[in-house]
Every structure is written in C-alpha cells, then in structure tokens.
Amino acid sequence: MHDALHPLPSHPSDQAFIVKLHRDADAASGVLYGRIEHIASGRCAVFASADELPRLLASLLRSARPEQDPNGTIP
C-alpha cells in the first residue's frame, strides 16, 4: 500500500534505537559489540556480538510496552 494512504507511520518513533559500536568493533570482519539505546524509554543494553543484537532489540521493545492480560487489556 502507498505510504500516503496509510494512517500509521512506516517507521514509528517508539521503535527507534541508537546503536553505538565500540571503538574496537569491526563490522566488515563481523566483530560487532557496543551499546543500544531505545529512544522512547531510554533503556540501554550492551551487546557482545551481532547475534545478540536482535535479541536485545526485542527485549527492549517488550520491556517498553505496557503489560497486557490474556484478554488483551492493559491492567
């Protein structure tokens, strides 16, 4: 669908992150480690590998969302 017709933003700000690579990281060689910050919540985490990064993204997003009960309502 064309973005102009869709009421929701394609890149919502509550899913924005800052990724800072350590000065010794080398993405070209696959050596990735650094720090990630969820902009909306301010929560941060340190990652030690490229494999760890998606898990931390999911964890930070999950912790920023309000908990819901099994019926889908926010307590």
Q: In what order do the strands lie in the sheet with 34-38?
A: 17-21, 34-38, 44-47
Show the CA angle centred on residue 58, arms to residues 55 and 59, nearest 5°: 85
Tens digits of residue pLDDT in 4-61 = 677 888 888 888 999 999 999 999 998 999 999 999 999 999 999 999 999 999 999 9
pLDDT number for residue 3: 57
CB neighbourhood size of 12 (10 A):
9
